[in-house]
Amino acid sequence: MTATTSSSLTLQNTKAAAQILAITTSALFAGYTASMSLITVPMMLECFGRSETSKVIVRSDATTSTTTKIDDSGISSRHVGHDKDHVSAPMKLGSVSNNRKFSPPNETLLLSQWRQMYVHGATTARPATAVPVICYLFLLYTCFAESRSGDVRDKDAREQGRQLGSVVLLYTVALMGQCGIVLALTVLRRTNGALGIRCAKVLPPPPPELQDISLRYASHEARSVEREGNIAWTSERLVRRWKWHNDVRSVLLIGGVVAGVYAVVLDGCE
């Protein structure tokens, strides 16, 4: 009897620890993923837009000249025009090329910031996804084990329905906990591959801490190569598309956290 009680107490303590770990880990990762769309990427794009605006102003000043003409009556008149002789060779090279609206320095900065953010997010996603999935699978196991025990066979239909609802919610949360990696391997695959190719073309080789398979896993695929080679898909547009996909992923992760909290509450109301 004592051994049974001790085993039951150990199982309950392990179950409570798994619940806390699953909710905490999934909530932190959902917040981290959402912060990329709400804070990091908008700041990158704002910096890119500010640099682009400054480039346009500087280039306009460099290509515009003002001349003053004094006629016979002594009245001066000003004429503003474009003086091609004042445009230096570097400025001409910095103009729009390949129908892209960014200059190489701006593109390099944007892609460098995205690569660093993306690799850090990818390396964080693996343990942050594995931990809650393992915890939720363990909680599912405990729910099925308790539903088959003699303690729950005599419960009324309402309590049994609540138990089943908790099991279904926990199973749903376990699937949602994997959505980050699943979406990266499916929906985001083409955009991630195109950005990986663009980074390899524009940026120097990454340092050791940024040499991750997430930058290369879809770079060889025809869809990624086609999108990256399309001149309509500028680096800014690719980053904006990635942000849109990450918005969807963030909503799913946050929904998974809410469902997980609700499932744990139901599981504790037995």
DSSP assignment, residue 37?
I
The pLDDT, as a whole number, for residue 54 is 54
The pLDDT, as a whole number, for residue 240 is 96
How far, in whole angstroms, is CA 270 from its chain's centroid? Answer: 38
What span, in angstroms and rounded, lies between the C-alpha atoms of 169 and 173? 6
Six-digit token pair at 198?
């663009």
The pLDDT, as a whole number, for residue 111 is 94
Give whole-number Cα distances, 77 to 69, 71, 204, in Å. Answer: 5, 8, 52
The pLDDT, as a whole number, for residue 181 is 85
Output the furthest CA–CA distance in the chain (Å, rounded).
118
Residues of the chain with pLDDT under 50: 56-103, 151-153
Helices and strands of the chain, counted as H and E runs: 9, 2
The pLDDT, as a whole number, for residue 269 is 62
Kindly state the helix (H) or strand (E) to which residue 92 belongs, with its residue range.
Answer: helix 89-93
Q: How many CA atoms lie within 13 A of 198 on its CB side?
A: 29
The pLDDT, as a whole number, for residue 86 is 40
Q: Is-contact 212 123, C-beta < 8 A? A: yes
Kindly state the helix (H) or strand (E) to which residue 67 belongs, with its residue range.
Answer: strand 64-70
The pLDDT, as a whole number, for residue 74 is 45
- The predicted-structure confidence for 187-233, as pLDDT tens digits, reads as follows 899 999 999 999 999 999 888 888 889 899 999 999 999 999 999 99
The pLDDT, as a whole number, for residue 3 is 62
Nearest Cα to Cα of residue 103 among 59, 160, 149 = 59
The pLDDT, as a whole number, for residue 116 is 94
The pLDDT, as a whole number, for residue 13 is 86
Kindly state the helix (H) or strand (E) to which residue 137 belongs, with its residue range.
Answer: helix 104-148
Nearest Cα to Cα of residue 181 among 173, 172, 189 = 189
The pLDDT, as a whole number, for residue 77 is 44
